[in-house]
Amino acid sequence: MGAYLLRRLLLVVPTLLGIILINFAVVQFAPGGPVEQMIAELRGEAGSAIGRISGESQGETGGPQRREGGGDENSRYRGARGLDPAVVAEIERAFGFDKPWHERLLATLSGYLRFDLGRSLFQDRPVGELILSKLPVSVSLGLWSTLIIYLVSIPLGIRKAVRDGSRFDVATSGLVLVGYAIPGFLFAILLVVLFAGGSFLQWFPLRGLLSPGMEDAPFAARALDYAWHMVLPTAALVISGFAGLTLLTKNAFMDEIHKQYVVTARAKGANERRVLYGHVFRNAMLIIIAGFPAAFISILFTGSLLIEIIFSLDGLGLLGFEAAIRRDYPIMFGTLYVFTLLGLVMRIVSDFTYTLVDPRIDFESRG
């Protein structure tokens, strides 16, 4: 297992490099970049904003910088018409777009090697600091939601497989189908309307992970307040995730139960519990474990994005979404880097879990 782990760790580097290169090529040359975003904001604001940028430019360079030829016609940004070329040049310099693309790429890669993700173009804060400040929210949502989904779905799926066709199976199938049909964000809106002061009850808070003033409270009080804030967003993610895993668990166990080795074990006199958990469980759980990294990552980012917006939770999903809207490239690449690295690590962890569930699996013996 050690040699296999080493190979997987070595593959992380070229995988990260390939993903960064592809996204850099797509994003950097796409229209509507951060320079265009800032120009659009300046054109929408009064002359004070333009004067502020121009003043910063003069303060740093000793005077306005004008391009050869002068005039707005020479600007390569359509939205820059009517702006002083020195202002446009200063915006390019501030965002690093006065350098060739290959220099920007090398600077990005060298920074990532040192885990220096750069600074946000619009928030003027280190990207690593922003990600660390948003990480607790997203990790809380992803961790608790994934844990509850697995704790509910696996026993429920096993029970449905054992009692296939019974009243219990039919009744729970109805609940599973309802959960499968309702999107998580729609259920979140329903929870807000019913229990967060929307139109009926106000049993749960709607913003943040802690109530105002609870930062300095005792640990027990903070833990209870944190759990109180997590009830509704976690429930919204669980309802959209448990249905698929329940059906996957049931189908995996149903497939294994009808195999020949199960018939043989029963013929030898093994009781049903030993057959189910001593033989079927290890084989049926492999496909479920294989989907754990993807489930965790999807809940951590794509699944929690709308939930973070609805419940006003300032997490990584919302940070990445706002960065994509504003073309804040350092944050976009930084969040992509973190999620990709986390996903690759989770894949390696899932391989270890394979061997824990079924020690007969040996990855080093392949090929």
Q: Which two tokens stand for residue 183?
A: 């999107």
Length of the chain: 367
CA angle 190, 195, 199 (to 5 degrees): 75
- For the segment 333-342, what is each residue's pLDDT rounded down to a tens digit? 888 888 788 8
Mind listing the pLDDT tens digit for each residue in 191-216?
Answer: 888 887 766 788 888 777 778 778 77
| Measured distance between the N- and C-terminal CA atoms of the chain, rounded to whole angstroms | 14
CA 289 to chain centre: 19
Cα(84)–Cα(51) distance, rounded to whole angstroms?
Answer: 10
- pLDDT above 70 covers a percentage of the chain that reads 73
Number of alpha helices (DSSP H) and beta strands (DSSP E) in the chain: 16, 0
Residue 58: the pLDDT is 40
Rounded Cα distance between 104 and 93, Å, is 12
Residue 303 confidence (pLDDT)? 62
Among residues 239, 195, 242, 232, which one has the least CA distance to residue 313? 232
Mean pLDDT of 292-313: 73
Contact assessment for residue 231 and residue 204, using Cβ atoms and an 8 Å cutoff: yes
Tell me the two tokens of residue 239.
């309802």
CA distance linking residue 251 with residue 262, whole number of Å = 16
SS3 state at 119: strand
What's the burial of 341, exposed, middle or buried (CB within 10 Å: 0-12/13-18/19+)?
middle
pLDDT at 4: 72
Kindly list the structural domains of the chain, giving each domain's residue range(s) and its CATH number in brackets, ordered by start. 35-98 (no CATH), 130-365 (1.10.3720.10)
Residue 330 has pLDDT above 70, yes or no: yes
CA angle 98, 102, 106 (to 5 degrees): 105
Task: Please enumerate in sequence order all residues whose Cβ is within 8 A of that of 220, keeping only pairs 6 or more positions apart, or say none.
Answer: none
What is the predicted pLDDT for the residue at 82? 55
Rounded to an integer, the average pLDDT of 7-19 is 83
Confidence class for position 18, pLDDT limits 50, 70, 90 = confident
pLDDT at residue number 230: 86
